[in-house]
Amino acid sequence: MSEYTRDPDALSRLTPEQFRVTQENGTERPGTGELLNEKRAGIFVDIVSGEPLFASSDKYESGCGWPSFTKPIEPAHVRELRDTSLGMIRTEVRSTHGDSHLGHVFPDGPVDRGGLRYCINSASLRFVPKDEMEAEGYGDYLDQVEDI
C-alpha cells in the first residue's frame, strides 16, 4: 500500500473552489459538483493526498445535491469530527492524510446498506476509473469496485 501525504504540489494546483472547500471548510453549491452524476466504476480519492476514500459501488443517488456514499472504501482514511458551526451539531468528514474537508456524514442513508450518508463535495475528490486504477497504484482496491 502506498503512503499518502498532504502534497504541497497538489495544493498549489487546486482551483479556487477546490481550495475553498478542502482548505477553508467550504461547501459547493448543491447540484453543481462535477462528480455528482459520475456513474462509472472506479474510486474517488482525496484531491490533495490521493488517498482512496470511496468506491463507486458505495455511491448512490440521495437527492441531496452532493455525491453520496454509504461507507468509506478505507475507513482509516476518513476522520469524523464534531462540527458545531452554523448553529447545529453535525459530523464533519476529513481525509486522514490530506486533512481535506470532504463534507459531512448523516444517519439518514439506506438502512439496508448501514444507514449512513456520506455527503461529499465533488471539489474534494478526484475520480479514478476502474480501468486506470492499476496504473495509478490503486490495484489493491479493484476487488471493491463492481462493474456497472
Q: Domain 8-133 in CATH: superfamily?
A: Peptide methionine sulfoxide reductase. (2.170.150.20)
Residue reference for cell 458545531: 84
Q: Give pLDDT, residue 148.
A: 60
Its pTM stands at 0.93
Does 36 score more than 80 pLDDT?
yes
Q: Give pLDDT, residue 48.
A: 95
Residue reference for cell 476502474: 130
Question: How far apart (Å, rounded) are the C-alpha atoms in residues 78 and 111?
Answer: 21
Question: How far apart (Å, rounded) are the C-alpha atoms in residues 53 and 55?
Answer: 7
Higher pLDDT, 45 or 7: 45
Question: How far apart (Å, rounded) are the C-alpha atoms in residues 2 and 86?
Answer: 37
Domain positions in the chain: 8-133
Reported as a single tens digit per residue, the pLDDT across 50-78 is 999 999 999 999 999 999 999 999 999 99
Are 80 and 106 in contact by the 8 Å Cβ rule? The answer is: no
Catalytic residue annotation: 119
Q: Give pLDDT, residue 2.
A: 57
Residue reference for cell 476522520: 79
Residue reference for cell 469524523: 80
The cell for 1 is: 500500500
Reported as a single tens digit per residue, the pLDDT across 87-119 is 888 999 999 999 999 999 999 999 999 999 999
